[in-house]
Structure 1
Amino acid sequence: MTDTEHTENDENTTGTMYDVVVLGAGPVGENVADRTRAAGLSTAVVESELAGGECSYWACMPSKALLRPAIARADARRVPGLRHLVEGPLNAAEVLAHRDYEAADWKDDGQVAWLESIGAVFHRGHGRLAGPRRVVVDAPDGGRHVLTARHAVVVSTGSRAVLPDLPGLDEVRPWTSREATSAKQVPGRLIVVGGGVVAVEMATAWRALGSEVTVLVRGKGLLPRMEPFAGELVAEALTEAGADVRTGTSVTSVTRENGTVVALTDTGDRLEADEILFATGRAPRTDDIGLDTVGLEPGTWLPVDDSLRVTGSEWLYAVGDANHRALLTHQGKYQARIAGAAIAARAAGVPILESDPWGAHAATADHRAVPQVVFTDPEAASVGLSLAEAERAGHRVRAVDVEFSSVAGAGLYADGYRGRARMVVDLDREILRGVTFVGPAVGELIHSATIAVAGEVPVDRLWHAVPSYPTISEIWLRLLEAYRG
C-alpha cells in the first residue's frame, strides 16, 4: 500500500494517507509501528516531545542507571573479602554522567533513525484527532500536516505525573518523576512524598548518592499494591540505609523560603529540604489529543477490548498507559504487539476469534500475569494476583511463604541474604494465581514465575522443573515443598 500526498487549501498545510497513524513515539508506539510495518502497512508516528518517550529519558532507563550503582554496592558489601573495597561513597559525578549516557543526553536522533529504518514516517509535532481516522499535526516550524488513516489510529500518548492540590505548589517548583531522574546534582536533603514504585526507587537512589532522605507515606506502608511483606522489607532496608520513613503522614502545605523547601504535615511536623518529590500518581496524556471530535471525553483513560481497540470504535486503538490496564513499559510493549497483529489481521480481512484467550490478537497477560520489578535494595518482584486480590476475586486460595535463608544459593550470593517468597495457589485448579519475591537479585527470578502464572502450569508439573543447585532459583523447590507439607 502506498502513501498518497496531496496539498490542502492552506499553503502551510499538507495531507497524507497512511494505513496506520500512531500518536506517541515511546517504546509502546514504536512497537506498534514495528508490527504494522512488518505486516506491510504504511505507518506514520507522531511525537510532540522526544521519540523514545518517558521510558527512555525520564523513567526506566535513567532511573535504573541511578539505581544500579547503589544496588551493586549493596550486594558487594554483603560478600566476604569484597566489602572493604566498597566502603566509600559513590562517585556521584560518574553516576550522573552514566545516567546522562543511558538517557542519550535527552536527544532522540537514534530513536528517529530506528523508526525510519523500519520504514515508518516520523512526524514531529503535536497530534490531535480531527474526526474519525483523521489526525492533524502542528509542527514546530508552524506547518500543519493532516494525516488520514485507512485502517487505524493508535493512541500511545502515555501518562504524566499528578501533583496534589496544594496552594502555591507551582512556586515551590516540586520534583516529579521527570526531575527526580534527570537532576544534575545531588540534593543535600530530599523529601519524597508517596509510597509507590517511583517513591521507593528514587528514595533508594538519592539516599545512596548522599542525600538525606525523608519519605512521607499517607497510607500504612510502602508498595501498597504488592504483598504487605514487600513494603515492610523495603522500608526496613531504607531505614537501615539512613532514610527516615514516616507512614500515616500527609503533607498539608509546602513553601519555598530563601531556596529551602518547607513542608508541614498533618502530624504537626515541619520539614526542611532542598527539594521535594511528589510521587503521588499518574494521569493519562489524553487531554489535548482531540478525543472530543470522536465523541470521547478528553483527559480520560481509554477503555479497550482484548485486542486493544477502544470500546465502541472500529478504528481507534489505545495501548500502554493510555488504557490504564498496566502502567508498565514491558506490558505496554506487549499490548503493542497484540494491537499491531490485530490491526494487520483486520486490514487483511482475517477473522479474529475474540473468544480465544491465547490467540495472537488477545492481551491475555493483562488479566492473568502482569509482572513487575521494583529496583530497590532489596528488589521486590511480583506477577499475577496478591493473596488479598485473589480472595477478593473469589478464588479459593492458599498462600505459601518461604524465607530465602532456606536456600543455599541465596547464602552464597550474599552474606546474611534476607528475603521472602510467596506463591498463591488456586486450590480448586492447582495452579498459581500469583508469585512475589523480595530479596537481592530477585528481579531475575520473576520471568520463571510469569511463565508459571501465564501458562497456568499445574503445581504437580512444576515439580519436574528442577532448579539448578546452588542458585537462588531453588526457592521454587522450597515453595513446592512447603505447599505439599
Structure 2
Amino acid sequence: MTETEPLVYDVVVIGAGPVGENVADRTRAAGLTTAIVESELVGGECSYWACMPSKALLRPVIAQADARHTPGLSHAVSGPLDAAAVLTNRDGFTSHWKDDGQVGWVEGIGADLYRGQGRLAGPRTVEVTGAGGERRVLTARHAVAVCTGTRAALPGLPGLDAVRPWTSREATSAQSVPGRLVVVGGGVVAVEMATAWQALGSRVTVLVRGAGLLERMEPFAGELVAEALAGAGADLRTGTSVKSVSRENGTVVAVTDSGDRIEADEILFATGRAPRTEDIGLDTVGLKPGSWLEVDDSLRVTGHEWLYAVGDVNHRALLTHQGKYQARIAGAAIAARAANTPGLESGPWGAHAATADHCAVPQVVFTDPEAASVGLTLAEAEQAGHRVRAVDVDLASVAGASLYREGYQGRARMIVDLEDEIVRGVTFVGPGVGELVHSATVVVAGQVPVSRLWHAVPPYPTISEVWLRLLESYRDS
C-alpha cells in the first residue's frame, strides 16, 4: 500500500454521477480547482443502471402501443417486439457499460478524476483508496461535496442473497428476457420494469404490499397504470407481501403472506432506496454512517460549514433531474462562499436556494399510459393546510389526444389554491403526457395566477389544450 503527499484543491467531490459531475462543472466554471472521486463508472447510476437503460427498454414499448392505436398503421406492428434488438439498442445507450466518454467530459471541464473509494478522513479531507490499495489524500480549501447517491434497499428475508434477486441494476442490464418475472413493489421502478419486461415477452407477476400502485401520486395515476398492466397480461396482486423466497433447481419460489406459491425465473425487488453513505467516513466528522444527510437549502450539511450533500443522498427528491438542479445550486453557493460574496441569495427562489425541492418537483413515470406530476397532490395540499380545489378533466375530451391515439384514455388534475389563485400541483395520466409536465412545472414554480394562465393560449390541436379545459372547468365549477 502506498500513500502520497496530500493534494490540495478548492473543492473535492465524492461521486461522479450526474450530480457530482454538475457540482464539478459549476465549481470549475467559477474558477475553483476541483477533484472528483468515483469508485465505479463515471456517469453513475443514471447512465448505466437507471434512467438511460430503463427508458431505452421502454421507448419501443410505448412506440408500439401508439402505432397499434393509429388507424392505417396498426396492421404494420401486429407482431411482438424484437427483444434482442431492444436489448442491443439499450446496450448502446449505456455505452456498453464503458465510461470513456464521461471521463473525457470530466477532463474537458478541467477537473481531476481519481478512481477509487473516497472516504472522509476528518474535516475537509478525503482519502481515496484505489483498486490496487494505493492511497491518496485530498484536502479541500473550501468544500467537500458528497454526491454518492443511493442503492437498492432489499428486505430482510432469510436466504435472500442465495436467491440472487434482481434489483433495479439487474432489471435494466439483463442480457436475456426471463420467461417468468416476479416484481415486488408498486413504485416507479416496479411499474416501469413490469411494463418493459411484460412487453418484451416475460409473464410478469406484480406483488404490491399496499392498496395500489404509485401511491405518492394522485390515486387515479396508479389506477390507470394498473388497468393497463393487467390489460397487457400482467398478474397484479395488491395487499400482498412476500414472506419467503428461495431458488430451487434454478427456479425462484416466492411464498406470499396468504400462502400462495409463485414460481419464476427471476424476482425483482423494487422496494425502496438507501443512501450510499455506509462507507464514506461520516464517523470521522461526527455523522452516522449509512444515514441520509440533512442539508439546508444551499445543500450544506447541518452543522458543517464546509460539507455539502447533493442529490439522492440528502433524501429531498430522489430524481436525477432534481439532483442536477441541486448541483447547480450547490456549485453556485460553494463558489459564492469561496469568494466571500456578500448577500448570499439563500431566500426562497434565490440563486443559492433549492426552493423547488419543497413545492415544484416534476416526475414522469414512463409506463403506458405515462404518469406525470409536479407539485402537491390534493391530499398533500390539504395536509399542508392550503385551502384548495381539485379540478379534473378527461384527457380524451381534448382534440389533440384523440389524434395522438385512437381510443385515448387519460386524466388531468389541477390543484388551485383558493386564497391566491395559484396552482399548487398538476397531475397528468395518459399516452404522451410526459411532454406536458414542464409547462406545469413552469406554472407551479412561477406561481402563475390563474387569471394570467387564460392568456397562455395552447395551440390547437395538441394535447396541451388540456390547459384550456382545466381553466374552463375551474371557472365553471
Residue 152 of structure 2 corresponds to 161
2:76 to 85, 88, 91: 85
Matched, 1:54 2:53: no
Structure 1 residues not aligned, in runs of 5+: 1-9
User: How many Å separate the matches in 2 of 1:111 and 1:133?
Assistant: 26
2:130 to 128, 132, 139: 139
1:326 to 317, 322, 345: 317
| SS class of match (2:140) | strand
Letter paired with 1:103: T
Residue 400 of structure 2 corresponds to 409
Detail structure 1 runs of 4+ shifted over 6 Å in the superposition: none
CA-based RMSD of the aligned residues comes to: 0.8
Residue 130 of structure 1 corresponds to 121
Q: Percent identity?
A: 80
1:196 to 187, 210, 217: 187
Contact 1:356 1:362 in 2 (8 A): yes
Letter paired with 2:360: A
Displacement after TM superposition at 1:356 (Å): 2.4
**Count of paired positions:** 476
| TM-score, normalised with respect to structure 1 | 0.97
User: How many Å separate the matches in 1 of 2:313 and 2:240?
Assistant: 30
User: How many Å separate the matches in 2 of 1:296 and 1:272?
Assistant: 43
Contact 1:134 1:149 in 2 (8 A): yes
Matched, 1:425 2:416: yes
Displacement after TM superposition at 1:44 (Å): 0.3
Letter paired with 2:157: L
User: How many Å separate the matches in 1 of 2:397 and 2:86?
Assistant: 35
1:121 to 112, 128, 147: 112
Contact 2:297 2:346 in 1 (8 A): no
Contact 1:342 1:352 in 2 (8 A): no
Contact 2:2 2:133 in 1 (8 A): no
| SS class of match (1:445) | helix
Per-residue CA deviations over 1:418-461 (Å, capped at 9, x if unaligned) read 00000001000100010000000100000000000000000000
Matched, 1:170 2:161: yes
User: How many Å separate the matches in 1 of 2:217 and 2:348?
Assistant: 26
1:212 to 203, 211, 216: 203
Matched, 1:336 2:327: yes
Structure 2 residues not aligned, in runs of 5+: none
1:241 to 232, 246, 252: 232
Matched, 1:302 2:293: yes
Contact 1:432 1:456 in 2 (8 A): yes
Letter paired with 1:85: A
User: How many Å separate the matches in 2 of 1:11 and 1:470?
Assistant: 67
User: How many Å separate the matches in 1 of 2:118 and 2:399?
Assistant: 55
Matched, 1:276 2:267: yes
Q: Tell which deviates more after alignment, 52-61 or 355-364.
A: 355-364
Per-residue CA deviations over 1:226-285 (Å, capped at 9, x if unaligned) read 000000000000000000111000000001000000000012211000000000000000
Per-residue CA deviations over 1:98-155 (Å, capped at 9, x if unaligned) read 1000011111111111000100000000000000000000011321110000000000
Per-residue CA deviations over 1:390-413 (Å, capped at 9, x if unaligned) read 000010000000001110010011
Displacement after TM superposition at 1:11 (Å): 5.1
Residue 473 of structure 1 corresponds to 464
